[in-house]
Structure 1
Amino acid sequence: MGGRPSEEDIRKLPVEKAIQELGAHPDTGLAPDEVKKRLTEYGYNEVPEKKKSPLMSFLKRFWGLTAWMLELTILISYVLGRLLDLAVIAALLLINAILGFFQEQQAERAVEALKKKLSVKARVLRGGAWSVLPARELVPGDIVRARSGDFVPADVKIIDGDMEVDQSALTGESLPVEKKSGDLLYSGSLVRKGEATGLIVSTGTRTYFGRTAQLVQAARPKLYVEEVITNLLKWLLAMVIALLALAFIVSYFRGVSLLGLLPLALVLLVSSIPVALPAMFTVTMALGSLELAKRGVLVTRLSASQDAAMMDILCADKTGTITMNKLSVAEMEGVGGYSADDVAFYGTLASQEANQDPIDLAFISEARRKGLNFNGYVQKKFTPFDPSTRRTEAVIEKDGKEFTVIKGAVLTIAALCGVDPGEMAGLEKKIGSLAKKGYRAIVVAKGGEKQCFELIGMAALYDPPRPDSAKLIEELRGLSISTKMLTGDALPIAREIANEVKLGGKVTGMEDLKKMESIDPDKAEEIIEGSDGFAGVYPEDKYLIVKALQSKKHVVGMTGDGVNDAPALKQAEVGIAVSSATDVAKGAASVVLTKEGLPEIVSLVRTGRSIHQRIVTWILNKIVKTFEIVLFVVLAYLVTGVYVVGAFEIVLLLFLIDFVTISIATDNARPSLKPETWDMRALVKVAILLGVFMVMESFGMLYIAMNYFRLTDATGLRTLTFCMLIFGGMFTIFVVRERSYFWRSMPSKTLLLAIGGNMLVTSAIAIAGIPGLIPIPAAYVLIAWAWYFIFALLVNDFVKVRILPYLEALKI
């Protein structure tokens, strides 16, 4: 190999010379031992990603609204000489940055793990057999097969075949480029049309553009949930600012120094901002994604599980999702003196095993079962199935003579063969009788040099429903998700399959639907909404179906596998690429299945709804605590003339509550039986009502502390108030996490440990005392425990159950 020309020189060589220089074997591919040697020489076919600087990621944690307010509070505390407040707030800022950075790194590692599972695949010939391998394992000299919808896995020189390639992402060319034998395909370009066998000439960092195509983008779109919370926080901030303005006005007339109130006012503002919100979302979504990955569901966009929680319609491809996607020959019948064996023989000649097309594989499998002999027959050219022509075509050479074999849709091929009207009517009748059995009819024809085709016979192919399809469709129906089947098959076949899986009898033909759309678009949308399935669907029709359902305010899931499915997968809120999908479909989808069928989709929905419940719990708890803390502290000041809690205690409280509640991401949340929706008005109503009760209860405890315990600032009033706010917040989590009475479900062990540990640490701080907090008797702490246990878990929980009509607006 030492005298081999450089890879740049090999690119310029004719394909035959390049094959020779690379020691390639077009008929058998490289041997396993040779592959190992070349992996050692060239390395894996990958380009290391440029990673974000961890230092810059960490420093960004000190930039933003929350960080600015904490930093302003530190500055004011320094100016006022309140060094203890300064130290605690600085510690909170630093710990916030460290925890957020740690969670971001964890989430990035989770997404990277998923990206590795979604790496580009390639069809490669090795040891005389075709197989599908990760593109990173390719080496120069490998023989590969590329077809429409594939990303080119490395720099490839075409040996045989023609195609159109989209190089726009690499060269900026807006139109596809035609490629033929001897031309070079660049790594990362996209095959738009055709197929070809090629020779790998460069891999990894040595490819023309120095990188491979990436299917998963590192950037994640802004979550819909975050937008909702942003709007909510504007309202909360307005409420806090209004209450604080009232407190400042009263302080001014009472002659209190306003500078002394600034640190507390700023910290109260900070308390209304969910410091742990990004970490909560990231952890919840990442944990859900990892849970789904174990079940064969790869989430390429973290927010996809939240979208799945709101999905109410699933548009499912029949093939590979509802059915097995493993066509087999049910029966064959020759015509005009041809036998069933002839149908299998010529049908196989019009097939290409390297493409792994289900119809091709069915003919090849049947020919092998019959033991048919193909010696002397050479496939000179092959044109794969095209929806526009509805056939495959091959040019075959035998003893120096060439002929053409085609197979495909019955009426299309019959028309090419010039079948007379009487025989055509017989064929249509035959198609109808096969369709009623759920069979798909394919005809085979042979032509000479002048392309005058002769009908050879018909094959009935059958793709049986998966054994679990009917059960799983019923399970989705139990989750209030309507499943709509999409198939390119004729209407009778679609109806037969729909009946077998108990989908429903309202199956609509796309031809009739398009006619209605041209007459009355609104009526067409109503038909789409009311249909159980669609027959005669072309890939481009899927996009129109998704758009029509979305116009009816549905949240749509869409399964797909082909390059033409990409627009529909992107348009749908939940784009699901099935296990056999092309690279383009996987790149467009937000979810990729690694197993066939619907079970993983059910898992996606259930997990998504559980994630939604956890986020609702966190949001409810945050609204309740923000409302209670600010209203209680300000009203207590207006009533008593003193601040019952200071900046130091509020900052410590923020640290102990906000970050402990991240453990809600691990809670045992039950998925809803209905699609989730967001109604923030209902959430705010519930939270404010619970917050009002908590403020009243806190005033009751404050009255006891000031009049019976005789506590003042000098004797630990702020310490007890700190305990009250912590204990009330912890018990409130038990109230808001369960939509019924709190005892109906058990929290996760992680959540119980976090809450229990937090309350024990708070008790120890209060009893022992720390700088800035005066110790108080253990009896007072125990009374605060009991007070909030009784009121939160009995009174507030009872009130929550009574106001469930509000929660029903959330469908939870």
Structure 2
Amino acid sequence: MKNEKETRRKFATDPVPDLMTDLHTTSTGLTQKEADDRLEKYGENVITREKQQSQLLIFLKNFTSVMAILLWVSGFVAILSGTLELGIAIWLVNIINGVFSYWQEHEAQKATDSLMKMLPAYTQVYRDGKLQQINATKMVPGDVFNLQAGNAVPVDARLIKATSVQVDQSALTGESVPESKKVAFDAGQGEFAESNLVYAGTTVGAGTATAVATAVAFATGMNTEFGRIAALTQQQKPSLSPLQLELNRLTKQISLIAIGLGLVFFVSAIFFVHYPVAQSFIFALGMIVAFIPEGLLPTVTLSLAQGVQRMAKKHALLKDLNSVETLGETTVICSDKTGTLTQNQMTVDHIWTPAHSFTVTGQDFVNNGEIQLDGKPIKYGTDADLDLLIRLVAFNNDTEVEPSKGSARPKILGTPTEASLVILAQKSGIDTKAYSITYPRLKELPFDSDRKRMTTIHQHDDHTLSICTKGSLSDLLPHCDTIQENGKVRPLTEDDKKAIDDANRKYASLGLRSIATAYREVPQETDKEKQLDGLTIDTAETNLTFVGLAIMSDPPRPEIYEAIKKCHRASIKIIMVTGDSSLTAKSVAVKIGLTSDKARVVTGGELDSMSKEDLKKALAGEIIFARVAPEQKYKIVSTLQEMGEIVASTGDGVNDAPALKKADIGVAMGVTGTDVAKDAADMILTDDNFASIVAAIEEGRTVYSNIQKFLIYILNSNLPEAVPSALFLFSRGAIPLPLTVMQILTVDLGTDMMPALGLGSEKAEPGIMDKPPRARDAHLMSKTVLWKAFAWYGLIASIISSGAYFFVNHLNGWPLKGLATSGNTYVMATNMTLAAIIFCQIAAAMNCRTENASVFKAGLFANKLVWFGIVFEIFLLALLSYTPFLQELFHTGPLAPTDWIFLAIIPIPLFLIEEGRKWLNRCRLAAKKVDVVD
């Protein structure tokens, strides 16, 4: 990195003749032959991409997880054992889930393609001494080319001619204010601040220039700063989300338990029940299938998809399903300032003159406010000093604001700063078009970064010329020797200078930016053209009369205050990482409640010199990062991850892509963001609003809570599925199998999934954002989940379903007669066992909707998807019970009306008992809160 900066500095500081000699070029460019030779040597000016893994391998990896492999084997064993239908059913689960996962992954990453699209198509280049238009991909080091306002810069280059050039480098630096560029070298502040260098991927906002493409180290394609960031983005490989890691862990746990139990049951069936090996395989397979929730992965996938749809309605588009849950685990948000915490629109909100301080209402680049004095509206023509300041900012302006059309934002043809002054003039009521005719512009002395001023000269009347100047106060005030107050001009005193400086400091301490205005009127000479030629910077910008300050800001978003409070309640840390100045960054952070006034501000330069341990210590406290470079943002994110944090990072420019890809959740801006940032990110905000991130985090937490709910729901049926096999084994075959393998699959793949999907759409319980993010070592399969799934819901369902089996046998003569091993009685007994499990699941679906709150309070019928799932369960049971073909396949038989009555009663006491448990739990939690308060 150090060598790269030194090389770049050499290109900036070498005299132009020496640079041309080093590049073996001239002011009239290269010959076509030399350009062709260099093109062959250095390659085309394109962003290349790494060799991608084949689509076939990407597709196949979706079918090789631990769960998938186990199911492939299980299906194969089932087919070998003569149960073709069972094997096909198991394999079908893998196929559906694998195809769905591949489709999501295939749509996810296109960052490099977007980088290529951002490069300009054609450039005006000198070849053989003539200006030619060529494809930008054919540019080489040493090419001399022209730039003008609106052009995208095609390569890294050194300016050799420049007139009032301003370049938008926000895609590289994050700075919202355009950078002034000139031929003379000035180091500037921050990354990419050299005054005479321009970079690929940036845009010329104003002026014209001629530049030379620098040597291969910083010239074309992947060797530009733009290309270097692209390479860094490509090198960052995506990591597994916390949910993916947890599901992998969970499936391994369940699979090992299931395989272990299956082996025990297989051996026991051979040696204790004396089953043939083939039958023992089927028996053990039934046990494995009973304990593996085959529908878990597709149910999780579809539940995450529902979360994505809900987030889209909240202006957050998720590209990766697993990012939904990761959002809920976020512990730190690294957020940009401009456009995310603020509205990305410069707005004049104060005017200061020696006599008065005015307030300006309204926001955005639209005329939606007014100028006020002491809370009362004041129009143009009322105050002489205000009137003059309004005329000055209207005359001394090269920007146009095109009104918005429909829902589109106003279009700015120029700079945001001047756009805010245009809107200020509109709010005053001045007729700018009429004044531009009455006081035509005769000459302009453009803004440059040396003097930080802009001057325009206008015809005032037949005998007078008006010189209008605006710019930085520190650079304009020394050129003033008079001041206007209450319409009268008098000498500028030291007390006046102190009052002006005090006002500027007061606004600066609030993170606001001041533009100073001044003027001078000169008698028109007989030879006006000669007089205008003589009005140069040195002669025009002197003996000025100070008028006042226009104070502007990029206002915070209205929703940001509550969003930040919600993050703080949720123990989520927010770190501002911006390219703006330290003063502005801290002022905004304190104003919106992001940090206290004691927060430490670390600049990019300081960050470079910090060790990893020092950075970790700094990150542990209140901190703001200002003037940061792309690699530094990446460093901040990676360090936080090393500290065990789950990091969400926002960004909009090309420079943000590596950090977005590195973060656990990369959040790109949908309105102002580059395509590169959007494609590198996991989530895109369609409104560029920080509050949308918080809403997405809340949704992510809800998704995780809902996953646990339907995990309890799915797992609780495992115990009643396994108990029949255990009864068969421990009775040494005296108790026939109360449930067949196909009936177990009916529960796992049929009746379980629909209500589980309904649980995945359950709304958040109150207080979900009042808890800290879950610990990183916490697991989906928590003690609470295990207790509810097995010791509570599962145990009750096991007793009821097994009881149903014995009850049917009792109605047919048991215990006087033995338990039926075949025939109608056996079919009805197994069918009632299946039906009892399903109706226990109905109660479980309702009970799992809330953790502690009453379902009645949540709304008994509020979740229509759960009720749809319940209806589906009953319909599927009826279909299996009354369809001849399915009766034979699933070993079922028709249920009598009395059977349906018995089944309908089952959920009622289970639901009421659980409501009682939740009530007791709420009472216990309330008592704890009282104890804490006391």
Going from structure 1 to structure 2, the CA distance change for 1:112 and 1:519 (only over 3 Å counts) comes to closer
2:505 is aligned to: 432
Deviation at 1:685, TM superposition (A): 4.0
Q: CA deviation at 1:347?
A: 7.6
Structure 1 residue 243: Cα displacement? 2.9
| Residues 727 and 784, structure 1, Cα contact 8 Å, conserved in 2 | no
Aligned pairs (5 A) from 1:403-802: 429-436=502-509, 438-441=511-514, 460-477=551-568, 479=570, 481-485=572-576, 497-498=588-589, 500-503=591-594, 505-511=596-602, 528-531=619-622, 534=624, 536-539=626-629, 546=637, 550=641, 553-578=644-669, 579-639=671-731, 640-661=734-755, 663-664=757-758, 667-670=761-764, 672-673=768-769, 674-677=771-774, 678-679=778-779, 680-682=781-783, 683-690=785-792, 691-709=794-812, 710=814, 712-714=820-822, 715=825, 716=827, 717-740=829-852, 741-745=854-858, 746=861, 748-766=863-881, 770-772=887-889, 773-775=891-893, 777-778=895-896, 781-782=899-900, 785-786=903-904, 788-790=906-908, 792-795=910-913, 798=916
Tell me by how many angstroms 1:467 deviates.
Answer: 3.5
How many Å separate the matches in 2 of 1:794 and 1:632? 27
Shift of 1:265: 1.6
Once the two structures are superposed, residues 249-306 of structure 1 have per-residue CA deviations (whole angstroms, 9 ceiling, x without a partner) of 4331332223212023224324444433443333233333233334432223333322
Normalised by the length of structure 2, the TM-score is 0.59
The one-letter amino acid of 1:735's match is N
Alignment map for 1:23-422 (pairs within 5 Å): 69=70, 72-73=73-74, 75-77=76-78, 79-80=80-81, 82=82, 85-94=83-92, 96=93, 99-100=96-97, 103=100, 107=104, 144-146=151-153, 148=169, 163-165=198-200, 179=213, 192=226, 222-251=240-269, 252-329=271-348, 330-331=350-351, 344=393, 357-359=415-417, 361-362=419-420, 371=436, 376-377=443-444
1:757 shift after superposition: 1.6
- Secondary structure class of the residue paired with 1:466: coil
Give the Cα–Cα distance (whole angstroms) in 1 for the partners of residues 717 and 555 of structure 2.
Answer: 56
8 Å Cα contact 1:559/1:576 also seen in 2: yes
Q: 1:180 to 1:408 in 2, by over 3 A?
A: farther
Paired with 1:665 and 1:69, the residues of 2 have a C-alpha distance of: 27
Cα distance in 2 for partners of 1:704, 1:244 equals 28
Amino acid at match of 2:865: T
Where 2:261 maps in the other structure, the secondary structure is helix
SS at 2:739 equivalent = coil
SS class of match (2:650): strand
Summarize the Cα distance change of 1:641–1:806 in structure 2 as closer, same or farther, 3 Å threshold.
Answer: farther
Deviations 1:588-629 (A, max 9, x none): 432222224334223312322232232222322233333442
- Find the residue that maps to 1:557 and give its secondary structure: strand
Measured at CA, do residues 54 and 528 of structure 1 come closer, stay the same or move farther in structure 2, by a change above 3 Å? Answer: closer
2:417 partner amino acid: I
SS state at 2:275 partner: coil
Distance 1:382 1:723, change over 3 A: farther
Unaligned 5+ residue runs, structure 2? 1-27, 33-50, 123-148, 154-167, 173-182, 184-195, 203-210, 355-387, 402-410, 427-431, 458-467, 481-493, 520-534, 927-934
Structure 2 counterpart of 1:433, one-letter code? K
Counterpart-to-counterpart distance in 1, 2:456 and 2:219: 28
Q: How many residues align?
A: 700
- Write the letter of the residue equivalent to 1:607: E
Residue equivalent to 2:16:
none
CA–CA distance in structure 1, aligned partners of residues 260 and 634 of structure 2: 49
The CA deviation at 1:309 is 1.3
Cα distance in 2 for partners of 1:523, 1:62 equals 44
Partner Cα separation in structure 1 for residue 773 and residue 698 of structure 2:
11
Which residue identity lines up with residue 704 of structure 1 in the other structure?
F
Distance 1:800 1:346, change over 3 A: same
Q: 1:292-339: per-residue Cα shift (whole Å, max 9, x none)? A: 3344322233333222212244444443233332213444789xxxx9
Q: CA deviation at 1:227?
A: 1.8
Letter in 2 for 1:758: E
- 3-state SS of paired residue (1:669): coil
CA distance in 1 between partners of 2:319 and 2:311 (Å): 11
Q: Deviations over 1:396-439 (max 9, x none)?
A: 999xxxxxx9998877999999xxx9999988645422224552
Spell out, residue by residue over 1:477-511, the C-alpha distance to the aligned partner (whole angstroms, 9 max, x if none).
45554555556666665565456545563352425
Q: Name the SS for the 1:326 alignment partner.
A: coil
Deviation at 1:344, TM superposition (A): 4.7
Q: Distance in 2 between matches of 1:70 and 1:516?
A: 51
Deviations 1:560-594 (A, max 9, x none): 33444445444443332333234444344322222
Contact 2:340 2:688 in 1 (8 A): yes
Cα distance change, pair 595–185 in 1 and its aligned pair in 2 (3 A): farther
Q: Distance in 1 between matches of 2:621 and 2:550?
A: 34
Query: How big is the shift at 1:345?
Result: 8.6
Q: Compared with structure 1, are the counterparts of its residues 283 and 424 closer, same or farther at alpha carbon in structure 2 (3 Å cutoff)?
A: farther
Deviates more, 1:270-279 or 1:607-616: 270-279
Whether the 8 Å CA contact 1:281–1:615 is kept in 2: the answer is yes
1:775 deviation in Å? 1.8
* SS in structure 1 at match of 2:717: helix
Maintained 8 Å contact 2:66/2:251: no
Closer, same or farther in 2 for the Cα pair 1:230/1:799, shift >3 Å?
A: farther
**Cα-to-partner distance string for 1:39-79 (whole Å, 9 max, x where unaligned):** xxxxxxxxxxx999999999888766556555555554555
| 8 Å CA contact 1:666, 1:750 repeated in 2 | no
CA contact (8 A) 1:407 1:444 kept: yes
Which residue identity lines up with residue 718 of structure 1 in the other structure?
A: T
Check 1:445–1:757 CA distance in 2 against 1; reply closer, same or farther (3 A cut).
Answer: same
Q: What is the Cα deviation at residue 248 of structure 1?
A: 3.2
Q: Could you tell me how far apart the structure 1 residues matched to 2:339 and 2:77 are?
A: 64
SS in 2 for 1:559: strand
Amino acid of the structure 2 residue aligned with 1:300 = K
Structure 1's 486 and 185: CA in aligned 2 closer, same or farther, altered over 3 A? closer
CA distance in 1, matches of 2:807, 2:677: 65
What is the SS of the residue equivalent to 2:649? Answer: strand
Aligned mates of 2:611, 2:238 — CA distance in 1: 39
**1:230 to partner: Cα distance:** 2.0
Considering only CA atoms, is the larger Rg found in Structure 1 or Structure 2? 2
SS class of match (1:298) = strand
Cα contact 2:332–2:574 (8 A) shared by 1: yes
Measure the CA separation in 2 of the matches of 1:783 and 1:150.
68
Partner Cα separation in structure 1 for residue 724 and residue 920 of structure 2? 24
Instruction: Provide the alpha-carbon RMSD of the alignment.
Output: 6.2
The 8 Å contact of residues 110 and 290 in structure 1, kept in 2 or not, is answered as no
Q: Measured at CA, do residues 104 and 392 of structure 1 come closer, stay the same or move farther in structure 2, by a change above 3 Å?
A: farther
Q: 1:504 to 1:231 in 2, by over 3 A?
A: closer
* Structure 1 position 751, deviation (Å): 2.9
Q: CA deviation at 1:771?
A: 0.6
The alpha-carbon deviation at position 362 of structure 1 amounts to: 3.6
CA contact (8 A) 1:637 1:644 kept: no
TM-score, normalised to structure 1, is: 0.67
Taking a change above 3 Å as real, the CA distance of residues 430 and 72 of structure 1, as seen in their structure-2 partners, is closer
